[in-house]
Amino acid sequence: MTTTSAASVAARGRSALPRPSRIRTDRSIVRRRVATSLTYAVLIAIAVVYIYPFLINVATSFKTDPDAAADPLSLVPATWSSAAYARLFLRSEFPVWFTNSVIVTICVTAGRVFLNSLAGYALARVDFRGRRVVFAGLVAVMAVPGVVLLIPKFLVINQLGIYDSYAGMIIPLLADAAGVFIMKNFFESIPRSVEEAAKIDGAGTFRTFWSIVLPMARPAVITLVILSFQGSWNELSHFIVSAQSPELMTLTKGVAQLASGALSQGNQYPLKLAAAAIMTIPVAVLFFVFQKRITNASTGAVKE
C-alpha cells in the first residue's frame, strides 16, 4: 500500500501518467482474479454439499451392510454387491409399489393437463356468466394448506365409497388450482385473432380449444406435465389417507414403511438407499430432459 503510493507520487513527480494507472489496473486485475477464484471456490464447495449426498446414496446401495456402516463416506464399495437390488425386485413387494406409482402418476398427469387446460381456457377466453366468481373461488381454494385437508379428505373419500381404490387415489389429485392458473395465464398471452379466424371458419369452442389453441400452448403444457408428474410421483400424504391395502401401495408409502423398519431387522441401509435411488430415477430423468426449461428462468416456463 505505502510502496505503491510512494511509487505513484514519484511517478507523478516525473509527470509520467501511464505508470500509476498501469499499477492500478494491475492491482484491480489481481483483485478481480482473486475474487473470481474465490467465487468459484465457494460455489464448488456448495455444489459438493448439494451433490455428494446423492452420490453416497447410489454408492451405498451397492455396498454390503457391514461396509455401509464401516465407511459411510466412501463412494467406492469395498466389495460390489447388488444384493439390495436383487432383494427389492425379487423378494419384496417393491415391483407392485413401482407399478402402482406408475399407474397413478400417468393417470394424474394426463388428467390434470387435460382438465386444467380446459378450465384455464374457459377462464381466459370463454365469456360466460359467473366467470369472476369461479375465479375468486379458485383463489380462495388455493389458500387452503394441503396437510390441513389430510383428515377431512379421508372423511369424504370414505363417505363416497372410493376408499382403498385407484379412483380414490387418482380423482382427488386431478384438479389443482395452481395448474389452472398457469394455463389461464398462458392462454391470455395468445392473440385472440387466432381463435377468431377459427370461429369464422365455423369451429366450435371445443374444436377451437383442442386443435388450435392447445397445440400453441405447448410450453405451458410441458410445465404442467413436469409439475404434475413430479407432484404425483412424490405424493405421500394423499395415498396414506386414500388407501390401505398392500396391493395399492405406492413407492412413497412403501419406502416410508421400509424406512421406519416395517420389513427389516437391523439397519439395512443399502436396501433402503437402493429403494430411495430407484424412486428418484424417474423424476431425475424428467428433470434432466427438461433441465433447461426448469432452471432457465422459471418466468419463461409460465409465460413465453
Partner 1 sequence: MSTTTTARRRPRGSGLRGREAAAGWLFITPVLVILGLFLVLPVIMAAWVSVSDWTGRGSPFSGDVGFVGARNYRTLVAEGGLATQDFGTSIRNNAWYVVLVVPIQTAISLFLAVMVNRKVLRGRGFFRTAFYFPSVTSSVAITVLWLFLFSASGAVNKILSYLGAEGPNWFNDPRGVLHVTLSAIGIDQPAGALGAHGFLGITWWEWLAGPSFAMSALILMAIFTTSGTFMLLFIAALQNISGEVEEAALMDGTTGWQRFRYVTLPMLRPTLFTVLTLGLIGTWQVFDQIYTGTQGGPSKTTLTPAYLSYSASFNNGHWGQGAAIAFVLFALIVALTILQRFALRERNTVPRRKRFNQPPPAAGDTPPALPTSTGSQP
Applying CB under 8 A, which part among 19-27, 85-93, 214-222, 289-297 lies near partner 1? Answer: 289-297
Decide whether 172 or 220 has the Cβ nearer to partner 1: 172
Compute the residue count for the chain: 304
Decide whether 11 or 71 has the Cβ nearer to partner 1: 71
Q: Is 102 in the site for partner 1 (CB under 8 A)?
A: no
Rule CB under 8 A: which of 175-194 touch partner 1? 175, 177, 180
Contacts with partner 1, 53-82, as mask; x by CB under 8 A: xx-xx--x-------xx--xx---------
Residue 299 to residue 304: CA distance in whole angstroms: 8
Q: All 3 cell numbers of residue 16?
A: 509520467
Q: Which class for 234: exposed (0-12), middle (13-18), buried (19 or more C-beta within 10 A)?
A: middle
Q: Is 90 in the site for partner 1 (CB under 8 A)?
A: no
Among 108, 122, 182, 221, binds partner 1 (CB under 8 A): 122
In contact, 242 and 152? CB cutoff 8 Å: no
Q: How far from each other are the two terminal CA atoms of the chain, in whole angstroms?
A: 52
Q: Is 234 in the site for partner 1 (CB under 8 A)?
A: yes
CB atoms within 10 A of CB 249: 22
Rule CB under 8 A: which of 203-232 touch partner 1? 204-206, 209, 230
Residue 32 to residue 270: CA distance in whole angstroms: 46
Q: Name the nearest CA neighbour of 173 among 226, 244, 113.
A: 113
Q: Least distance (Å) from partner 1 to the CB of residue 15?
A: 27
Decide whether 11 or 115 has the Cβ nearer to partner 1: 115
